[in-house]
């Protein structure tokens, strides 16, 4: 005679598996249906959204789209905020305010706040929770709450090919050069030269590329071995499949 307790436990586990599969499938469907692309913009009307660009679902706060240009093949993660202007429904003039070049990646939970011009160069990658803003609170009047004082705004420019680590903060007036690495948690203001690594709060240059001497101070880890020419993605997948499973 079967054990009723075991039968009930098996039925409960089966139901949980069925519900879990349904939830995961529903979540994947929502992510696909809710993503914003040039072909499926939903209610968002960007000044430009390039071919292959995708805003993951759910999106963060987005307004001022008429002054936001997104290049081709950009990846905008979940809960990313993109705003042009201090509030919705403002007339910001004829020119774009926020511009992303081709191939820009904004990690999950990042914010790009453009009350005046913010430009992010092509192939710049941002980790999660990066904060880029052209506006900061002012505190000139010691008798007024800081939040009630009129803020200051300065343009921000980030060059192509940069990497901004998790939690980096880019403040108003920052001008970051080409192929710059911003360490996780760094707070950047002012000018950063090309081919530099900056870290800290406020961020300082901790490494630079010299055409004759290479990186100074020298890198502590060896350079990665490049993939040989002619190797296809199928070849790499085949190699992975051939590796022994130590588990």
**Which residues are catalytic, by number?**
137
CB-CB contact of 101 with 81 (8 Å): no
The two structure tokens encoding residue 86: 């201090």
Question: In this structure, how many other beta carbons lie within 10 angstroms of the beta carbon of residue 78?
Answer: 18
C-alpha to C-alpha distance for 55 and 33, rounded to whole angstroms: 11
C-alpha to C-alpha distance for 15 and 108, rounded to whole angstroms: 33
Three-state SS at 244: coil
Provide the edge-to-edge strand list for the sheet that holds 191-192: 48-49, 68-70, 98-100, 118-120, 156-158, 175-176, 191-192
């Amino acid at each position: 005679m079967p054990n009723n307790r075991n039968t009930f436990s098996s039925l409960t586990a089966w139901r949980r598996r069925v519900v879990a599969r349904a939830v995961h499938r529903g979540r994947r469907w929502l992510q696909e249906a809710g993503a914003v692309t040039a072909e499926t913009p939903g209610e968002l009307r960007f000044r430009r959204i390039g071919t292959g660009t995708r805003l993951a679902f759910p999106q963060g706060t987005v307004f001022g789209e008429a002054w936001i240009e997104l290049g081709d093949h950009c990846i905008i993660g979940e809960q990313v905020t993109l705003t042009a202007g201090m509030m919705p429904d403002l007339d910001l003039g004829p020119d774009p305010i926020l511009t992303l070049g081709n191939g820009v990646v904004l990690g999950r939970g990042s914010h790009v706040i453009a009350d005046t011009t913010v430009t992010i160069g092509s192939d710049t990658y941002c980790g999660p929770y990066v904060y880029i803003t052209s506006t900061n609170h002012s505190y000139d009047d010691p008798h007024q709450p800081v939040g009630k004082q009129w803020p200051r705004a300065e343009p921000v420019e980030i060059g192509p090919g940069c990497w901004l680590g998790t939690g980096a903060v880019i403040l108003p007036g920052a001008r970051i050069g080409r192929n710059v690495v911003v360490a996780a948690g760094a707070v950047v203001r002012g000018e950063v030269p090309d081919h530099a690594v900056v870290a800290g709060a406020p961020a300082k240059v901790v490494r630079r590329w010299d055409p004759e001497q290479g990186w100074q101070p020298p890198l502590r880890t060896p350079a990665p071995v490049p993939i040989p020419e002619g190797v296809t993605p199928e070849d790499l997948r085949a190699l992975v499949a051939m590796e022994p499973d130590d588990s």
